[in-house]
Amino acid sequence: MTRSRFFEFAAVAAVAAALAVALGIGEERTMGNLARVLFVHVPSAWLAYLSFVVTLVGSGLYLRTKDLRWDRFAASSAEVGVFFTTLAIALGMIWGRSTWGVWWTWDARLVLTAVMLFVYLGYLALRRSIPDRLARARRSAWLGILGIVQIPLVHFSVVWWRTLHQQATIFNTEGMQMDWPFRSALFAGLAAYTLVYVVLMRRRIELARLEDRFEDLVAAEEREVAGEAVTAPRYEGSTELEIEETPPPARSRRAVVLALAIAAFLVAAVAVVSSQATSLSRWGWVAYAYTVAYVAMLTYVAWLAWRITVTRRRVEEVS
């Protein structure tokens, strides 16, 4: 078994175990079954923090070593962090609708988490707008360092402002405000999501490496040797490569159509469930939240796998 497969199996097993623990423990005294939503919401938020701290570390190490592997590491973690932040917000909105009666409220924690999401969306947008790899790495590294100011703001927002969002339960000055069955379910979720993060990171880094390889190959093809008088050696009968005009393979097109159909179905399903949300039971809310979390993770994993496949094929075509 390869290391990638090992992590994937471990992540699936851990998620299954965390689900079993989360659904197996008894009801919470005041919130009842709704408390089970926290076992996916809180780990998502923690993983968002972890991802952005890893982006900070990767950015710092890139600036220190100028090794592009650290740039790929930081960028991959930022993208995974954006995924977990979005998931944490979505699950928080489901929680809000089920307990407070609204999808969104102007609570400091909610608003600042959304702001943090936009900071790292800006980071990803910056990377896409700079074609030169070294300039991109250096510029985004500084933004990766600057963006970290959002994490303490988000984390301490519940302390600095009187918010609807509950105070810290784990890192509380009066000790952990949680009984051990709930604590075990929370930490099982945290461990499982951390393994999911590792799997996502490995895939995203592989994709980044392939994208860089593709860029290198295209650049090598386009580069003139000794000006225009001499051209790069080519195989007999070969012509200029037209990367942009190469039509995507039929399998890729089918995969895109399938992915779009699945996405449209999921959006429709979420819209239907959301419109009927007032009539959901507490277990219904729990099922809704867990479905959103697992479908989102599976979709992201599938999307990464598809991008890796397409990019690998493009690399093979060029090389």
Q: Contact residues for other proteins (CB under 8 A)?
A: 63, 112, 115-116, 118-119, 121-122, 125-126, 129-132, 134-135, 138-139, 142-143, 145-147, 149-150, 153
CA nearest neighbour of 94 among 286, 236, 243: 286
**Residue-by-residue DSSP string for 45-97:** HHHHHHHHHHHHHHHHHHHHH--HHHHHHHHHHHHHHHHHHHHHHHHHHHHHH
3-class state of residue 230 by DSSP: strand
Cβ of residue 166: shortest distance to other proteins, in angstroms? 21
3-class state of residue 168 by DSSP: coil
Buried b (16+ CB within 10 A) or exposed e, 44-68: bbbbbbbbbebbbbbbbbbbeeeeb
Distance in angstroms (rounded) separating the CA atoms of residues 257 and 63: 40
- Report the residue number, 150 or 163, with the smaller CB distance to other proteins: 150
- Report the residue number, 134 or 271, with the smaller CB distance to other proteins: 134
- Report the residue number, 90 or 112, with the smaller CB distance to other proteins: 112
- Report the residue number, 16 or 135, with the smaller CB distance to other proteins: 135
Cβ of residue 197: shortest distance to other proteins, in angstroms? 23
- Report the residue number, 119 or 188, with the smaller CB distance to other proteins: 119
- Which residues have CB under 8 Å from 90's CB, separation 6+? 292, 296
Cβ of residue 196: shortest distance to other proteins, in angstroms? 26
Cβ of residue 75: shortest distance to other proteins, in angstroms? 15
Residue 42 tokens, joined: 């809180």
- Report the residue number, 125 or 298, with the smaller CB distance to other proteins: 125
Cβ of residue 142: shortest distance to other proteins, in angstroms? 5
Cβ of residue 89: shortest distance to other proteins, in angstroms? 14
